């Protein structure tokens, strides 16, 4: 399987980046994970022609062709970063590659909670009509005290968290396999959902 791992911050120093790079190496025998940065992407500005900038289109193409997505989100003020929200807005407003795409959410934070509020918020966002991602249910990987979590080689030193991450990742592999099999045999209006428009909905409501 091929996954895209999105670093959910524009920070140059991020333990969420370290977490994704660790996952890429640790699970190399199970899946190929390409770690993608968002720090160079422009802020969302709602272009009238709904055409994404080249860098956003490149990320969208990678998401489209991947078997699944892993998003590593920090927590800023009880939510995801503005940079990650901006990227999601680009994707939802333009190409909509996350529709019916399997997503695993992980997160690291300097405190004890491991981005739990941000992960809950991200789940709500990804369930929006323009996104409709297939989010792995009943599974959270929360890495607290992340500043001390990695050694100089980038290895995760909390052995209990290594085991927990392995279990979560195996669950995600199964979730992706079963979900993609279902999507391949059943019609879920993916293309129709990509054409969803709040403007159209408002116009239909005015006519009724």
**What domains can you pick out in the chain, each with its CATH number?**
2-207 (3.40.50.360)
The helices-and-strands tally (H runs, E runs) of the chain is: 7, 6
Cα–Cα distances (Å) from 151 to 62, 86, 147, 157, 198, in that order, read 30, 32, 10, 7, 48
- Per-residue pLDDT tens over the stretch 59-95: 999 999 999 999 999 999 999 999 999 999 999 999 9
Task: Write down the pTM of the prediction.
Answer: 0.90
Separation of alpha carbons 44 and 179, rounded Å: 30
Separation of alpha carbons 79 and 167, rounded Å: 26
Q: What average pLDDT does the chain have? A: 92
* CB-count burial class (<10 Å; 0-12, 13-18, 19+) for 1: middle
- Per-residue pLDDT tens over the stretch 106-119: 999 999 888 999 99
Separation of alpha carbons 170 and 174, rounded Å: 6
């Amino acid at each position: 399987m091929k996954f895209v791992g999105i670093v959910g911050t524009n920070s140059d120093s991020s333990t969420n980046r370290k977490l994704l790079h660790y996952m890429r190496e640790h699970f190399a025998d199970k899946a190929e994970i390409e770690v993608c940065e968002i720090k160079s992407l422009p802020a969302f500005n709602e272009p009238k022609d709904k055409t994404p900038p080249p860098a956003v289109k490149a990320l969208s193409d990678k998401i489209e062709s991947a078997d699944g997505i892993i998003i590593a989100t920090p927590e800023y003020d009880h939510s995801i970063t503005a940079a990650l929200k901006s990227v999601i807005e680009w994707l939802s407003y333009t190409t909509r590659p996350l529709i019916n795409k399997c997503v695993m959410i992980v997160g690291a934070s300097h405190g004890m909670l491991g981005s739990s509020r941000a992960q809950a918020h991200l789940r709500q966002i990804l369930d929006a009509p323009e996104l409709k991602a297939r989010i792995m249910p009943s599974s959270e990987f929360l890495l607290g005290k992340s500043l001390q979590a990695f050694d100089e080689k980038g290895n995760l030193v909390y052995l209990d968290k290594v085991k927990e991450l392995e279990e979560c990742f195996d669950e995600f592999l199964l979730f992706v396999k079963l979900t993609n099999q279902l999507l391949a045999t059943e019609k879920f209006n993916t293309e129709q959902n990509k054409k969803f428009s709040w403007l159209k909905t408002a116009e239909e409501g005015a006519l009724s």
